[in-house]
Amino acid sequence: MTWQEELKENIRTIAQLKEYIDLSPEEERYLRKVMDIHPMSITHYYMSLIDRNDPDDPIIKMAVPSEDELNLIGDYDTSGERENTKMPGLQHKYLQTALVLVTNRCAMYCRHCFRKRLVGLPTEEILRRFNDAVNYIEKHEEINNVLITGGDPFVLSTEVIAEFLHELSTIPHLDFIRFGSRVPVTFPERILGDEELLSLLKSNTANSKRVYVVTQFNHPREITQESADAVDSLVCSDVIVSNQTVLLHGVNDNPETLAELQNKLVGIGVNPYYVFQCRPVKRVKSHFQVPLYKGYEVVEEAKKRLNGHSKRFRYIMSHQSGKIEIIGVMEGYIYFKYHQAKDYDNIGKFFKKKLNKTAGWLDELD
């Protein structure tokens, strides 16, 4: 079976789900309600990682819809993506980086996704606009790198990915190209089953622009022989692999799990890059977001268990105004620093807010 055929076999219906998880009639009812709004799609590989006997299984939490998704606290655009959109499918928020959203599809629809409002929509329009995005990047010499994201760009065919690389590689002021993809975690077969993709990435780095893959491992149980092999194939193709973990309640919000994850990632050749504060996204915030104060404590405790290399990540809130690092808590205040900022003058700015132990986002602090 090809990887495309495998994806078509994803678990998408309640009947398919019931082969793996027991559901009461009431649970079935609310699941249907949630899935009418945000569809379910789980790869067979990712489903094989669940522990059906564990009512608090972190893998189930990330993949299977829950009643909590009916909670509407939060917003759908928490990082100001709408206002940073320069044309359909292209965002330019930070001076040096352009984001090109090439598809709305993913191998799996993660329940904690902050682009929840986008997934499941048709992609043709965005694909048609890719060339417009390239024209924009060509005209903006301050852009030195592009993040190709979505959705998940690696669900597109290798021919389409080759086209992206070909177009972007002709732009002299780009130093490197990044792909944001959770495929190494949720669908490693995509990488392991496609020699053509691997040689494309390798030759692009050798002949033109260096390729990075930024992935998202959130729990040590996601590090399996298959995902480690997928990472290894990328590394052997001269791709640099980095990881952004999302801090998620009930998944990784304890120091032991977070430390084990970062240590194991370094062991398989992945560079810890960010630990992200979960955004206050509608249908996500109520059950996945960890308060900033607790998040800070978890991250600091985890760091005590990590060597210097494994703790190179920053604990970041990707706010409308910029990427804000959560630096510390002291004498009733929580301290922050702009790691990146929409307003250039704010980069590096250090500031404090009165501590509120239940606040989950900057705007909830005085």
Which residue in 106, 268, 281, 334 binds ligand SF4 (CB under 6 A)? Answer: 106
Nearest CA to 312 out of 323, 325, 303, 304 is that of 303
Q: Is 154 in the site for ligand SF4 (CB under 6 A)?
A: no
Nearest residue (CB) to ligand SF4, 216 versus 263: 216
Is 181 in contact with 227 (CB distance < 8 Å)?
Answer: no
Contact indicator for 49, 13 with CB cutoff of 8 Å: no
Q: Which of 119, 214, 298, 326 is in the footprint of ligand SF4 by CB under 6 A?
A: 119
Tell me if 109 contacts ligand SF4 by CB under 6 A.
Answer: yes
Size of the site for ligand SF4 (CB under 6 A): 10
Sole binder of ligand SF4 in the list 89, 151, 220, 272 (CB under 6 A): 151
Q: Which of 129, 178, 182, 209 binds ligand SF4 (CB under 6 A)?
A: 182
Does residue 190 bind ligand SF4 (CB under 6 A)? no
Closer Cβ to ligand SF4, 149 or 263, answer by number = 149
**CB–CB of 234/192 below 8 Å?**
no
Q: Which is nearer to ligand SF4, 152 or 325 (CB)?
A: 152
Report whether 248 contacts 62 (CB < 8 A): yes
What's the min distance (Å) between Cβ of 100 and ligand SF4?
Answer: 14
- Alpha carbon distance 5, 19 (integer Å): 20
- Looking at the Cβ atoms of 58 and 255, the one nearer to ligand SF4 is 58
Smallest separation (angstroms) from ligand SF4 to the CB of 146? 17
Sheet holding 333-341, edge to edge: 85-87, 90-91, 97-101, 145-149, 176-180, 210-215, 240-247, 271-277, 314-319, 322-330, 333-341, 350-354
Check binding of 60 to ligand SF4 (CB under 6 A).
no
Which uninterrupted H or E stretch holds 178?
strand 176-180
> Which range, of 10-18, 109-117, 256-264, 277-285, touches ligand SF4 by CB under 6 A?
109-117
Residue whose CB is less far from ligand SF4, 182 or 285:
182
Dist CA 265 CA 309 (whole Å): 11
Using CB under 6 A as the binding rule, whether residue 298 contacts ligand SF4 is answered as: no
User: Bridge partners of 190?
Assistant: none
In the complex, minimum distance from the CB of residue 58 to ligand SF4, in angstroms, rounded to a whole number: 15
113 binds ligand SF4 (CB under 6 A): yes
Nearer to ligand SF4, 81 or 152 (CB): 152
What angle is formed at CA 104 by the lines to CA 99 and CA 110, rounded to 5 degrees? 100
Residue linked to tokens 């900033």: 292
Measured CA to CA in angstroms, residue 90 lies from 146, 152, 178, 234 at distances of 10, 15, 14, 26
The answer to whether 150 and 106 have CB atoms below 8 angstroms apart is: yes
Q: In the set 152, 226, 260, 325, which binds ligand SF4 (CB under 6 A)?
A: 152
46 binds ligand SF4 (CB under 6 A): no
Residue numbers at the binding site for ligand SF4 (CB under 6 A): 106, 109-110, 113, 115, 119, 150-152, 182
